Amino acid sequence: MKKFIEKVKPIAKVIGIIFGVFVLWIVFNFFTNKNNYNLQKSSEINLPMMASERMDFTKDSIEMGVMPDNESNYNQSASTPQTTNTLAVEKKVIKNGNLSLKVDKTETAAEEISQIAKNQTGEVFSTNFYERVKGQKNGSITIKVPVEKFESTIAQIKSVATQVISESTTGRDVTEKYSDLQAQLRNKKAEEQSFVKILDRAGDIKDVLAVTQQISRVRGEIERLEGQIRFMDSRTNMSTITIALSEDIEITPVKNNWRPWQVTKKAFSDLISNSQDFVDGTIKFIIVGIPSLIPFLLFLGVIYWIGKKLWRKIRS
């Protein structure tokens, strides 16, 4: 029996150590979980803005001013699926057109196109004309007209031309992107309202500063989205048409600066100048070039004479 106890004693010690470690682990987890729970509760009380970021308010609760005040309400709101009312957005399309026209007179055609744009409640956006030959102008004019009058405006502009060289139109549907921007804007405005309500309930200065910072951030995002929506509205409400104008070729009058006698005199002057240059070059070659070649020719002669002598000796 004594021998059996001595054999079992080490095993009992090991089991006792394992049991003690297990008890200590349970006690440690109990206190750490309790501290984490208290820290979480205190952060929710002291920093309401962090809780509000996790809260998923429904549209009806925000409009009614209902704010969850405890963790159970938050869990209930998080577990309840929200239903968002998607507003029907009209189709948004960006349209652009390019025309290349032949006209009788560029200035007259540009005035007619400007008037067409005004009649279509549009405007002239830019013009660019140039005159390479006197009395003959080419260039381009860009106009903006409402999207719904895009096709009719192009038809009227083509009637101004004597020939339509090229015509192209492009359209890009941005309805989905526009709807996404509108949805983001609604969500940001709802988020801003929730922060404002939290700010009304905040008591500590630290809480007020924290919530105010979040409101400022959301307000910046709202202004950015509103700017993108305004820019897209301007692109989709007004279409852009660019017209390149060129005049038909016609017999032009004699240029005012055409002077054939002056051209003749200039040609004789160039002939005399080239002859002088040729004579000058010949003189310089005789006086400078030939004497400069004499030493080089003498050197070649000496080399040839020495080589000839050596060749004869080698052969003999």
Burial grade of 114 (CB within 10 A; 0-12, 13-18, 19 or more): middle
Specify the pLDDT at position 67: 40
Low-confidence ranges of the chain (pLDDT < 70): 1-14, 16, 19-24, 27-89, 133-135, 249-257
The number of angstroms, rounded, from the C-alpha of 11 to the middle of its chain's C-alpha atoms is 74
Strand order in the sheet with 238-247: 123-133, 136-146, 238-247, 93-103, 163-173
Specify the pLDDT at position 130: 85
Specify the pLDDT at position 145: 92
Q: E strand or H helix at 272, and its extent?
A: helix 260-284
For the chain, what is the radius of gyration of the CA atoms? Answer: 47
pTM over 0.85: no
The number of angstroms, rounded, from the C-alpha of 184 to the middle of its chain's C-alpha atoms is 21
pLDDT tens digits for range 237-250: 889 999 999 887 65
Residue 106 near residue 129 (C-beta atoms within 8 A): yes
